[in-house]
Amino acid sequence: MAGARPATAASFGIGLRNVGERLQRRFPGASALDYGATGGGRFRVALTMPLRLA
């Protein structure tokens, strides 16, 4: 992306924290959110939640 700045934990902290709180309310004890800088201006987010097939 032209003009994009590298992601930092500070720039995503509030939004991702809200996602983590919503996951815990929706799937108490059965969800996780892991995120952080991986180096080279990259950022990784991993969500874990139960799979329910319809």
So where are the chain's domains? 9-48
CA atoms of 19 and 34, how far apart (whole Å): 11
pLDDT band with cut points at 50, 70 and 90 for residue 4:
very low
CA atoms of 44 and 39, how far apart (whole Å): 10
pLDDT band with cut points at 50, 70 and 90 for residue 12:
low
Which amino acid is located at 24 in the chain?
A: Q
What digits encode the pLDDT tens for the residues 18-35?
999 999 999 999 999 998
Gyration radius of the chain's alpha carbons:
14
Alpha helical stretches, state H, the chain: 9-26
Q: Name 37's bridge partners.
A: 43
Average pLDDT over residues 43-51: 92
Read off the pTM. Answer: 0.63
